[in-house]
Structure 1
Amino acid sequence: MNGSAWPPSTLLGRLDEPIQRRLLAIGVQRSVEPGQAILREGQLESHVIVLDDALVKTTVAMADGRHALLSIRIPGDIVGEISALNGTPRSATVTTCRAGVIRIIHHNEFRAFLRSNPDAAMEIAGIVADRLRWANQRRLDFASYPVKVRLARVLWEIAKAYGRRDRDGIVVNVQLTQNELATLCGAAEISLQKSLRELREADIIDTGYRQVVVRDANALRRNALMD
């Protein structure tokens, strides 16, 4: 993937081109298929994965057997860095949402890379801080807003970060189940379904098979109390 195409929010997008090349050079390139688990919760592994050109979701198993969606990661992102740095088991399962290309980097090479490229180490620290801030914001939303507002906020953030524009609006084709979306919003699935129906009836969004189209971005922002 061309470096200019990596979003600036991702690790590769934040790195200067020479450092990008160094990081990618130490990775073993692998092709992945849709629905492939590239990291599994609980496994004691130490490598990291750079998403050269891949879209993935991270989930954790809940006590009742459901799976909670934690985040979505896009081309240019890194996953598995916490286990690689502190030697703990994987905290989540990472599953591909479409066919793509990843780079697998052994933890020894990854640590050596960080020692010789302190700017990259600082960027990874910044990414970890951003992810913690995002998680804290989710907890604040759960305590402060009703389900419909939480859903609108999550849909807007996902659309803004991962959607693509076409004539119908902003298409979010990340293959999210309603169960996963409900856990991301901190809501019961029946409550989520009611809020989705209200947004559809207002022609703010449209939903298909694991796909959401934001038809009226301004109205979605208003429902998210972001204006």
Structure 2
Amino acid sequence: MEDVTWLPGTFLGRLGKAARDQLLAVGVRRSVRESQVVLREGALESHVIVLDDALAKVTVAMADGRQALLAIRMSGDIIGEISALNGTPRTATVTACRPSIIRIIHRNAFRAFLRSNPDAAMEVAGIVADRLRWANRRRVDFASYPVKVRLARVLWEIANAYGRRTPRGLVISVRLTQSELATLCGAAEISLQKALGSLRGAGIIATGYREIVVRDTDGLLSVADLAEV
């Protein structure tokens, strides 16, 4: 397998090389297009998907038919693990935000992998716990918040999970275009640009080539209306 450096917050980033190569070897590689649904809320299916080279959003349907953004997932993340482990319907819809590469792993192969790799099984349990804890804090309707708040929440989620601490601040070195950020925030691109400009002007973030730097963590949390890290 090609030796790729996976971000530390992702499932693949938490695995040792031998276990990671073993997992990827049992996956069926597929290409998906932008806006393609890869998992659908309520579906009765049990395979797992590893995001090989991907950016995706996780949403749930609200009572009025709108979609609420719960999270984003990136290259190295695993999705669909809950249904694979307990046989329940999908709890959310996952949609690709750009053309992506995924690996589909059937339930039996995934369970066999976990049985032969106890450390990987513990990492899955940790990831599930982290996601449930975050979801419990964020079961809110993003549509009720201004774009600036939604953007701050998305940026904090990315920075907290995947950012690198440097003297300049918390660096998000994931390639995210303004269009992709707008999709994740459920906003028009022009509104997203204004919100980014506002955060830059306040000294909370700085933007550069293929990176966003969170310079003021407390300021970002304040804008995001998040009481705790």
TM over 0.5: yes
What code does the residue aligned with 2:185 have? L
On the 8 A contact 1:152/1:220 being kept in 2, the answer is no
| 1:181 corresponds to | 185
- Paired AA for residue 198 in structure 2: L
Mapped contact 2:61–2:67 kept (Cα < 8 A)? yes
CA RMSD of aligned residues (A): 3.8
Q: Note closer, same or farther for the CA distance 1:21–1:63 as it changes in structure 2 (3 Å cut).
A: same
1:39 CA displacement: 0.8
AA aligned to 1:175 is E
Q: Which runs of 5+ in 2 are unaligned?
A: 165-170, 223-227
Counterparts of 2:17 and 2:200, CA distance in 1:
46
State the secondary structure of the residue aligned to 1:120.
helix
1:217 to 189, 192, 214: 214
Task: Give the distance between the partners of 2:65 and 2:105, measured in 1 at CA.
Answer: 32
Q: How does 1:85-124 map to 2 (within 5 A)?
A: 85-124=85-124
**1: CA distance, partners of 2:5 / 2:109:** 25
Compared with structure 1, are the counterparts of its residues 202 and 135 closer, same or farther at alpha carbon in structure 2 (3 Å cutoff)? same
1:68 positional shift? 0.5
Following the alignment from structure 1 to structure 2, what is the Cα–Cα distance between the partners of residues 108 and 64? 37
Identical aligned pairs, as a percentage? Answer: 60
Q: C-alpha deviations, 1:35-56, integer Å up to 9, x for none?
A: 1111111110010000111111
Offset of residue 162 of structure 1 = 6.3
Q: Which aligned pairs between 1:52-91 and structure 2 lie closer than 5 A?
A: 52-91=52-91
| Distance change >3 Å, CA 10–CA 163, structure 1 → 2 | closer
Q: 1:2 to 1:42 in 2, by over 3 A?
A: same
Is this contact kept in 1: 2:35–2:95, CA < 8 A?
yes
Question: Structure 1 residues 6, 65: closer, same or farther in 2, change over 3 A?
Answer: same
SS at match of 1:5: coil
Mapped to 1, the partners of 2:106 and 2:84 lie a distance apart of 8
Any stretches of 5+ residues in structure 1 without a counterpart?
184-191, 207-212
- Output the TM-score relative to the length of structure 1: 0.72
Aligned to 2:94, the other structure's residue is in SS state: strand
